[in-house]
Amino acid sequence: MPNVHGGRSWEAAMNAKPLKTAYELGDMIVEQAILLQGPWPVGMTLFIFEDAYGWTASISRPTSEADNFYRTCALHLIAALAIKYDLDGPRLSDGLSDLAFSNPTLYLRNPQTPGNSTWQKASKEATGKPRNPKRRRLR
């Protein structure tokens, strides 16, 4: 039975693009770049990550004009693949019931305990501010 409130089967049905892992996308990018441009330059690294628009990839800076041309071609290839595939990774809808912050009654402290800090307040001298001799606190 498909999971209606999140999960892979529901997302796959709603998603028009095929899902690929970062490793699969990286392999596809490198394989197609090798077919189109020749061997992957030594020292050039590829990093694939999720962004606000789906996914993108970053390639290290080139060390030569030839590497710069190769990098530019690979970036065009990445842009084309980003239109065709979505990144398959953990989603916020995947199993949030296990996480404490999915509970709407999460408190950073127990609401029964007073909000007094156990840390001592720093003196003005410690923070670099001069004391004002005219102001005195009366108790």
Location of structure tokens 């970036």: 75
Kindly state the tokens that stand for 99. 């996480």
Question: β-strands 46-51, 86-87: how paired?
Answer: unpaired
* Structural contact between residues 86 and 17, judged by C-beta atoms closer than 8 angstroms: yes
Question: Is the pLDDT score of 109 beyond 60?
Answer: no
* Structural contact between residues 87 and 78, judged by C-beta atoms closer than 8 angstroms: no
Answer whether 0.85 is exceeded by the pTM.
Answer: no
Question: β-strands 86-87, 19-20: how paired?
Answer: parallel
Question: Is the pLDDT score of 110 beyond 80?
Answer: no
Location of structure tokens 């190769």: 70
How many Å separate Cα 47 from the centre of its chain? 12
Least confident window among 1-5, 85-89, 117-121: 1-5
* Tens of pLDDT, residues 40-93: 999 999 999 888 888 999 999 999 999 999 999 999 999 999 999 999 877 655
Least confident window among 21-30, 72-81, 98-107, 121-130: 98-107
Distance CA 17, CA 83 (A): 8
Mean pLDDT of 102-106: 38
Give the SS3 label for residue 46. Answer: strand
Give the SS3 label for residue 101. Answer: helix
